[in-house]
Amino acid sequence: MKIVIDGAGAKNDGVFNNAAIINGAIDSVHKAGGGQVVVPSGGIYLSGSIEIKANVDLHLESGATLRASSDYADYTAQHNIKSLTGGTVDEFVLPQRAFICAYKAHNARISGHGTIDGNADGFIAERGRYIHKMRGPIGGKDQYLERPFTVFMIECKNLTIRDVVIKDPAFWAVRTTGCNELLIDGIRILTDLMVPNADGVDIDRCQNVRIVNCEFVTADDCISLKSCSQTSQYGDVANIVISNCIMTSTSGAITLGTESVGDIKNVLVSNCIIKDSHRGFAVRAREGGTISNVRFSNSLVHTRTFSDMWWGHGEALHVTAFSWDDPSKGTDGNIERTMEGFVRDITFENITCHTEAGILNYAAHPELIKGVTYRNVEVHMQKESKWEPRIDLRPNGIESVLHRKHNAFEIFNVSNLELDNCSVIWDKASRDSYGEAVVESNSVNVSATNFAEIIRGD
């Protein structure tokens, strides 16, 4: 079955709220056994919250725009995440609204070459120099807990998101929780680079996931793998392939962890290009979980520093393990934030880095990070921005920032780290801005084979 929404009465004037019409079309297609609901090209179809159902393909034609309403009242109570899932998902540390949502919508699709517009401009309270201040509803909670996800899919097996453009999300662009056999292919996510928390794709407790052939320009992490505290019923994050993607971020390109109560394991990242990002590939173990068996390979990574209002400070590759909050002081969030995270068996291989801040390996103590290999990693160190050097360990309630020069390879409180056929190439003009090629402290079994250090420039 196929329904084109303008034939069902939808208006493309950018003003009329088409939510009832679009949801009605989805319900009809779902009840008929499946098919397409088509957003046609031309004009802007404004809408409040939309719920996709099983076997329904929400298809956006080339030239079509589906725009999220900026009116908080248009995000209806029945589509509140807690209500949608019957209380199965109830996260008090994250928002409950979503523009496009689904629960147990197996075999659902979002497809086509049209645009899903998260309408971030409509949620900006004040434009900043380096980061915007966002607004929540009058009388509501902090804006962080109020802004809508653009797409939030929960427990949807065999979900496909293909080819669409998602622009200007007001919060995370795409979040999937408990969605196994997930394919994200050929999409583009383009955000305002000063909208806080404007992640690209957040994978929470999903297994058997492919993210391929995509382009991301995002304010916050382009891709983030998470195992959140209130979704433990969906298990670990496992069997993830990320390949052939191009990424730019004011924060991190790919981040594993931070929210990592459960384990994150069996991850392959390959053939990616990182451009002008605040941080490249990052493994950040927190909240008690273990991140293990991960390989980053065959990629080009370019990082530079941005304002300290954003996490990260120009490091190309990053491996850290701490508690999020200081256990001696407690926490105002989840109790898991007082727990330390663990890292096991991480490999970076065949990667060329152009970076202001080198490569960071740092743990609270050596038992937390065990087994990190850098093989055929080339690190070009050159100062590009105006920002002073700083080692950013956030989130870390004990010691969040170190104010000193960067070293090319920082190795602190790490066990079993290997540098195999790696090199550091210093830019002669900015060599004095940095410390040493390798600095190791309080670490166990650190080795280097065929390591080279070179200075280039006039």
Among the residue ranges 72-86, 324-338, 368-382, the one predicted with the least confidence is: 324-338
* Distance from C-alpha of 180 to C-alpha of 4, rounded to nearest angstrom: 29
Kindly report the number of other CB atoms within 10 A of residue 57's CB atom.
21
Question: Within 13 Å of residue 58, how many CA atoms lie on the same side as its CB?
Answer: 28
Q: What single DSSP character describes residue 288?
A: T
Residue 384 pLDDT class (50, 70, 90 cuts): very high
Nearest to 343 by CA among 260, 230, 232, 254: 260
Peptide bond into 395 cis (omega under 30): yes
What local confidence, expressed as pLDDT, does residue 458 receive? 67
Q: Is the pLDDT of residue 394 over 70?
A: yes
Three-state DSSP at 30 gives: helix
Q: What single DSSP character describes residue 344?
A: E
Specify whether the CB–CB gap between 220 and 198 falls below 8 A. yes
Specify whether the CB–CB gap between 335 and 286 falls below 8 A. no
Q: Is the pLDDT of residue 112 over 80?
A: yes
Nearest to 152 by CA among 171, 130, 139, 133: 171
Q: What is the mean pLDDT of residues 395-424?
A: 97
| Residue range 123-178, pLDDT digits in tens | 999 999 999 999 999 888 899 999 999 999 999 999 999 999 999 999 999 999 99
Q: Is the pLDDT of residue 333 over 80?
A: no
Three-state DSSP at 223 gives: strand
DSSP conformation letters of 227-286: E-GGGGGG--EEEEEEES-EEEESSEEEEEEEEESS-EEEEEEES-EEEEESEEEEEEEB
Q: What single DSSP character describes residue 323?
A: B
Phi, psi of 14 (to 5 degrees): 75, 10
| pTM score above 0.95 | yes
Q: Is the pLDDT of residue 93 over 90?
A: no
* Distance from C-alpha of 369 to C-alpha of 457, rounded to nearest angstrom: 36
Element (DSSP H or E) covering residue 109: strand 109-111
Q: Is the pLDDT of residue 225 over 90?
A: yes
| Residue range 196-211, pLDDT digits in tens | 999 999 999 999 999 9
Q: What is the mean pLDDT of residues 87-92?
A: 90
What local confidence, expressed as pLDDT, does residue 109 receive? 98
What local confidence, expressed as pLDDT, does residue 382 receive? 97
